[in-house]
Each structure stands twice: as C-alpha cells, then as structure tokens.
Structure 1
C-alpha cells in the first residue's frame, strides 16, 4: 500500500486529523448539491468515517503470514514467478495505473465497470465517498502489516516493479495484507451496492485491482487474498456508521442521475477490457 504510506503517513495523529484543513466538493449535476466539508488528514487524503477504535483489527482477523518453506509460501512464489511474464504488456500498464491511489486518477478505476463517469465535477458525493473509504480500508490493514512486516516479492526476487518510484517506501512497509487490495475491494463492494445492475462487472474489476498488485511484483498472492478479508470487514463496519449511510444514499441518487443521462465513462473501456483479458 505504498501510496497510502507515502502520502498519508498512517498513524494515530492522522486518524485524529492533526493539522486538518477543510475542503468542499464541486456542485453536482443535481441542482448544485454538494457533499459536506470533510477534513484532510494530509494533502490529498480525507478523514475516513471510522475512528481508530472502530477500525477492524486485521491482526485478529487474519491467519499468520505464510513463512518460508510452507505450502502457502510456495504457492505465493509460484504465482509471483508466473506474473513476471506479464511485464511490459497492457496488463502491466493497467497495473501501474491501479497502483496510483491519488485522485482524480483513482476515481476512474471503476468507471468502465459502473458504466458511468465518476469524477469530482459529475459525481461529487460518490467521489468524496471513495476518498473517505480509501482511508478506512487502508488504515484497517496496519495492525497486521506492522506486526508481520513481511518482505515484498521484489525484495526477494530482485525483479522490477511497475512503480519503481515507490520501491524505497515499499521496502519499509509490510506486505501482508495488501492495502491497495483492501481499498480496491472496499470500493468494489460499495459500488456494487450502489449499482447492483452492474455488480458482476464491478466485482470483477475489484478482483483485478487486487491482482494488479501481483502483476506489479509488489505483493504476494496471500497478501491480496487477505486484503479482501480486511476490506469486507471494513465495509461491514462502515454500514453501522450514520454518516456513511447518508453519503451512500446521496451517492446512489447521484449515480442514478448521471447514468440516466447516458454519460460515458471517464476511461477508455475498450483498452481496459483488452488489458484485463491479457
């Protein structure tokens, strides 16, 4: 979860919103409706919905990280070796794009799967919802990450990654479980609820988003699998939060509105589909 570590500095001070500034969303297409202002915990990253004590405890939820010599680690190594063959292909390039959790790039990740634009200008409530859940889903991985401090694949196989600019930070950020996967699968679960008629496409894209971490040579297979568990626990907890429920209702109405206008996704869906089919 290199971008979250690099830009957010995941720690208790940020959970409390130290040094926060306020931002507001742009007017939506629905009569100027705007999301309520939310504090930034770091430039570009919003305060999540959950407090530190409300976050799922990934260390308690997950099995121990696979150790060298185990069958699970042998499977991890086998899949990591297999994914090296994808280097330089369109799938590799998509994985590099998936690695970038900054907005507005990340907002477009599920645009093709949803079949509609997702942007600050056209869907400001949904845009902010994705930004806030990113923080919750990412932070929820850290009790296990910090405990196991697992070395990443590129540190062991000495092969390139799809995000070389992040490798220095990744070396000091535990691999198990995958923070990117937790974030991407959380988004998939949320969006599948908002647009149930596109649930299959959305969940498939969520699975591929996690798999991108294997393609990038920055996470083991088991990191990705367990990242989805953390995501599921996070989204379940979010549904007990009144602010999250309110924002989901606003995002659902907003998404229905832009879909009714037949507005196109913000990404090249033919190129994405071809990359995912590689």
Structure 2
C-alpha cells in the first residue's frame, strides 16, 4: 500500500481552496486520502520545490509591489458580469470544477460521460494545490483584501483566506495545470483552453484575494507540476485513457453548455489596468 503522501497541512489547503472535504466519492475508482480528497500522482518528495523555484514575493515599496497595487484595481469590477464570473471561478469543488473548461473544449466534462478525465482532474488538482504549500507557508504573504480593506467575491471564505498565504496563488496553479493538461488532450482547442486558463487566474485578481505576482507565480508552479507529472507512468496512462474518452465525448456531444456566450462576454471585459 502506498503510504499517505502529504501532511495534514495539505488537506487543510485543499479544503480551503475547494471545500474538497465535502465532495462525494467519484464513481470511477480514484484513490483518496480521505473521502472527497483525491490522492495526487506525486509523493511529497517528488513535487517541485516552490521555495527553490520562486523568488520571495515583492517587498512593500518596491517597483514590483507598485505593479501589484496597480493591477489590484481589477477589484473595481465588483458588481459586473466579470465579478460574477470570478465568483463562479472561485469554486474548485467537484462536480462544479469539472465544468471550468467546458466552453473552451466545446463539451461538458462530468463524472458520468467522462469518468477517466474527471478522475484525472481530481487527482491533478491535489498535486497542483500541494506544490505551492511550501512557499505559501514560508512567506505567509498578506492578501490584498487585508491591505485595501475591501471585501472579496467570496466573503464567507475570508477568515480562512486570511490565515493562508497569498503567494503563490493555489487556484491559479490548479487552473493553469488543468489548462496545460487539457490543451494536450484536445490540441485543436488549445488556444481557447489556454486563454481560459489565463482568465481563470485573473479571476483571483478580480476577486481581490491575490496580487498580480501571486498569479504569475501560480502559473509557474502549475507548469512545474505538469512537467513533473509527465515522468509519472500512472499519469501518462490516465492521460491516454482521458484523451480517448474526451475524443469520444466530443464526437458524440460536441454541443457547448448553454451559458457559454454569457461567460465569453464576461471574460472579454478588460481589467481596469493595462499594467500587463
């Protein structure tokens, strides 16, 4: 039996990100650390080292932090469709999280129609969340809403977020890892998938829960964990199964979800800064 791969610290991070502890078990057999929390593919010692790979976050008073403050003006989109999209993007709980890239791919991803892909997303969520834990706890960076005194798009999560470091962004790491994986599985849709991966991270800026540099470092760690996952034979096996399954699902039902036009319009709304 494979030993438990991560400390309790990891499970707490997953619960904060996605309310994962309340997620029901999938019908397709997915190894779990405990009910609702999928076991990742990588053991703790196999994960990329976020402390070694990332520089410290920008210091207050630095030019980099001034850029963070400028991009944080994205929080001024509250009350707009883009704000509502950021609220939806904050939910990493399954089954809802499986639909994040449905419009980009052009078909739904769910446990019934695509169980192998659904399980792949569950397991890689764990790897992409845990990969950032070391830097989060090393730097314990204060989140934007604690600095500017304005609410977030998920006020019910603020108490937990205040105790969880801002740097790097775990949501962004997960979303970007998924974007890279899905772009490999459906290369003809890679532009749309990667664009959605980028906008997913930007939702954390709109939400007022992360700084610009948190999001950039989250993308970096998402890339690092996907690169390492490709050396894992079980991951590669599951990718092959998911690729075939997704192709069948797209051929059988290539109709995008009904709300894709509204989502596209919301994501097209520019952030209120041209800083990047």
TM-score, length basis structure 2:
0.88
Q: Indicate how the Cα distance of structure 1 residues 161 and 6 shifts in structure 2: closer, same or farther if over 3 A, else same.
A: farther
What residue is the counterpart of 2:18 in the other structure? none
Distance 1:6 1:165 in 2: 21
Q: Cα offset for 1:7?
A: 9.6
Question: Among 37, 41, 53, which residue is 1:49 paired with?
Answer: 41
Distance 2:64 2:179 in 1: 26
Distance 1:110 1:53 in 2: 30
Q: How many pairs align? A: 253
Any conservation in 2 of the 1:23–1:39 contact (CA below 8 Å)? Answer: no
Where 1:212 maps in the other structure, the secondary structure is helix
> For residues 224-278 of structure 1, what are the alpha-carbon distances to aligned partners after superposition, in whole Å with 9 as ceiling and x for unaligned?
0000110111000000001100100000000000111134234510111011011
Q: Does 1:100 align with 2:103?
A: no
What residue is the counterpart of 2:116 in the other structure? 125
Q: Does 1:59 align with 2:51?
A: yes
Q: Which runs of 5+ in 2 are unaligned?
A: 1-7, 15-23, 270-276
Q: Indicate how the Cα distance of structure 1 residues 56 and 157 shifts in structure 2: closer, same or farther if over 3 A, else same.
A: same
What residue is the counterpart of 1:154 in the other structure? 145
Where 1:41 maps in the other structure, the secondary structure is strand
Q: Indicate how the Cα distance of structure 1 residues 6 and 218 shifts in structure 2: closer, same or farther if over 3 A, else same.
A: farther
Q: Which runs of 5+ in 1 are unaligned?
A: 12-21, 26-34
What residue is the counterpart of 2:71 in the other structure? 79
Q: Cα offset for 1:97?
A: 0.7
What residue is the counterpart of 1:168 in the other structure? 159
Distance 1:128 1:257 in 2: 17
Distance 2:86 2:10 in 1: 19
What residue is the counterpart of 1:220 in the other structure? 211
Q: Cα offset for 1:196?
A: 0.2
Any conservation in 2 of the 1:154–1:217 contact (CA below 8 Å)? Answer: yes
RMSD: 1.8
How is 1:232-251 mapped onto 2 (pairs within 5 angstroms)?
Answer: 232-251=223-242
Any conservation in 1 of the 2:185–2:243 contact (CA below 8 Å)? Answer: yes
Distance 2:231 2:213 in 1: 28
Q: Indicate how the Cα distance of structure 1 residues 170 and 274 shifts in structure 2: closer, same or farther if over 3 A, else same.
A: same
Where 1:9 maps in the other structure, the secondary structure is helix
What residue is the counterpart of 1:9 in the other structure? 12
Distance 2:211 2:9 in 1: 20
Where 1:67 maps in the other structure, the secondary structure is coil
Q: Cα offset for 1:45?
A: 2.0
Q: Cα offset for 1:85?
A: 1.9
What residue is the counterpart of 1:257 in the other structure? 248
